Amino acid sequence: MLKQTIQRWERCISASRRRGDGHTKRKKHLFGKWVRSMSSSTIQSNDNRTTWDSVPKERVECVVIGAGVVGIAVARALALKGREVLVVESAPTFGTGTSSRNSEVIHAGIYYPLNSFKAIFCVRGREMLYEYCSKHDIPHKQIGKLIVATRSSEIPKLNDILNCGIQNGVDGLKIVDGVEAMKMEPELQCVKAILSPLTGIVDSHSLMLSLVGEAENQGTTFTYNSTVIGGHLEGSEICLHVTETDRLTEWKGTSILQPELLLIPKLVVNSTGLSSPVLAKRFNGPKNV
Ligand SMILES: Cc1cc2nc3c(=O)[nH]c(=O)nc-3n(C[C@H](O)[C@H](O)[C@H](O)COP(=O)(O)OP(=O)(O)OC[C@H]3O[C@@H](n4cnc5c(N)ncnc54)[C@H](O)[C@@H]3O)c2cc1C
């Protein structure tokens, strides 16, 4: 049933493209415009139960919103556990947001505050990422990193960074003197440096491609050009409001944007990156939920 709805949904999207509604140029800015409008006070509540009765509904076990590196990895992990997964992505393909516009560094986990999730997950995630990349032939290299003090007044700060990294459980960190650092990197001018041997680089597109492939092999469905615009509770169930992304071009931001499909999942993962808090605010429910 889910597959049929998704196929219908995808047919509807390709039909709108054939009609010439492909706003390729405008699409780039579309999502930003929508996010800005969503957070403005001109937007009315989407708590409009009667009009939703006519909207097609579909049940699915897990919905992952957003196909950046986080959403894709979550979808893969759920699918490997045997869960039915649908990924809803507003862009025409996966990983077009921050996940394809970053420095592709595999961070060691040095800077984060002690015992923070970031510190814990960065150290554990780095180990898992190297293991995954080796196992799946993802181009990557553990090239190491130098954090430098360019003058002696910066050395106390360098020591603080070193201590933070050690407390976070980053192995192999050591202070090297300027001469040694400059031997490694002749272009460098520094008086001291921290050598972080566990830092590396990764081809993030190959990584995402591999994760998508695994998720799809486990039965995950990716639906693109589809945006989650909000959600509401019906009893104990959450209903996600989905619309074709192109429809957002015509939307002036002054009227209620009606969904074209309601998804009713048992589990929702909001992995829409920087849009996550804005989208979360569009989920209507009792005040204490
Ligand atoms: C300049 C820069 C450099 C960085 N360098 C590094 C680095 O070297 N190493 C590192 O590990 N990290 C780095 N990062 C951080 C890293 O890129 C991000 O943490 C990561 O890409 C976030 O992934 P994500 O999946 O959460 O978000 P995103 O990649 O933004 O994915 C979110 C997805 O959700 C979709 N979406 C949004 N709203 C909706 C909606 N309502 N419905 C449907 N879909 C929606 C978007 O289209 C997008 O595809 C860097 C970040 C920046 C900005």
289: in domain = no
**Do residues 227 and 95 both lie within one domain?**
yes
124 CA from centroid of ligand 1 (Å) = 19
Q: What is the mean pLDDT of each run of 10 residues along the chain (289 residues)?
A: 61 52 37 46 44 87 98 98 98 97 97 96 97 98 98 97 97 97 96 98 98 98 96 92 89 81 97 96 74
pLDDT in tens, 223-265: 999 999 999 998 889 999 999 999 887 777 777 788 999 999 9
Ligand 1 atom index nearest CA of 94: 49
Can you give the CATH number for the domain in which 38 is found?
3.50.50
C-alpha triplet 37, 68, 270: angle, nearest 5°:
60
187 CA from centroid of ligand 1 (Å) = 32
**Do residues 214 and 94 both lie within one domain?**
yes
- CA–CA separation, 92 and 196 (whole Å): 38
282: in domain = no
> What's the residue count for the chain?
289
CA quadruple 43, 71, 22, 283: dihedral, nearest 10: -20
Q: 43 is in which domain, residue-wise?
A: 2-100+207-260
70 CA from centroid of ligand 1 (Å) = 8
- Residues in the ligand 1 pocket, defined by CB under 6 Å: 65-71, 88-91, 96-99, 102-105, 107, 227-228, 271-275, 279
Number of domains in the chain: 2
116: in domain = yes
Ligand 1, residues 30, 65, 98, 279: which to mutate, most atoms within 8 A of Cβ? 98
C-alpha triplet 108, 165, 276: angle, nearest 5°:
60
Entry pTM: 0.86
275: in domain = no
Is 111 in a helix, a strand, or coil? coil
